[in-house]
């Protein structure tokens, strides 16, 4: 069987809390993008009835996936080491790599990984053949 790998899709999302400005959260998301994009907005209510909005960008076109990933890795700089050292913790059973970028810092134009809740979430669906976890980890490492 031929071994090949790629990124199937990337989803970038963030929650806009009632104390935040949706435009500013959109600007924070834009920090990660080297091209024009469309944000889908979903309104919801928080645990205590407070209004929330979910902002999401889904990247499916191969050219845009490649461009976004290359840009993200470049923006991460030395933090690539953190990703490399924590891949196993950040990769779920569906071979989706979960990265969290500090939303406040992104608004200021800085890309900083975080474990906190107030984050821009980047989900990277990796396809590898064979689709064993070890192979997916190897593929992700080769892309970083």
In sign, the C-alpha dihedral spanning 114, 121, 44, 26 is positive
- Please compute the mean of the pLDDT values over residues 108-137 and round it to a whole number: 93
pLDDT at position 16: 96
Domains of the chain: 7-142 (3.30.1440.10)
pTM: 0.92
Bridge partners, 25 (sequence order) = none
**What angle, rounded to 10 degrees, do the helices at 133-143 and 80-90 form?**
160
pLDDT at position 3: 37
Q: How far apart are CA 66 and CA 59, in angstroms?
A: 10
pLDDT at position 1: 31
DSSP symbol at 25: H
- Condensed to tens digits (0 to 9), the pLDDT of residues 48-103 reads 888 999 999 999 999 999 999 999 999 999 999 999 999 999 999 999 999 999 99
């Amino acid at each position: 069987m031929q071994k090949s790998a790629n990124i199937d899709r990337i989803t970038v999302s963030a929650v806009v809390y009632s104390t935040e400005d949706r435009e500013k959260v959109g600007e924070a998301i834009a920090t990660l993008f080297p091209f024009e994009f469309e944000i889908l907005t979903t309104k919801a209510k928080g645990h205590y009835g407070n209004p929330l909005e979910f902002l999401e960008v889904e990247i499916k076109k191969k050219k845009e996936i490649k461009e976004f990933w290359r840009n993200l890795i470049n923006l991460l700089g030395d933090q690539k080491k953190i990703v490399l050292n924590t891949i196993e913790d950040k990769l779920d059973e569906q071979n989706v790599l979960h990265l969290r970028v500090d939303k406040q810092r992104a608004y200021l134009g800085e890309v900083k990984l975080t474990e906190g809740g107030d984050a821009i979430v980047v989900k990277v669906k990796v396809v590898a053949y064979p689709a064993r976890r070890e192979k997916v980890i190897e593929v992700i490492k080769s892309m970083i």
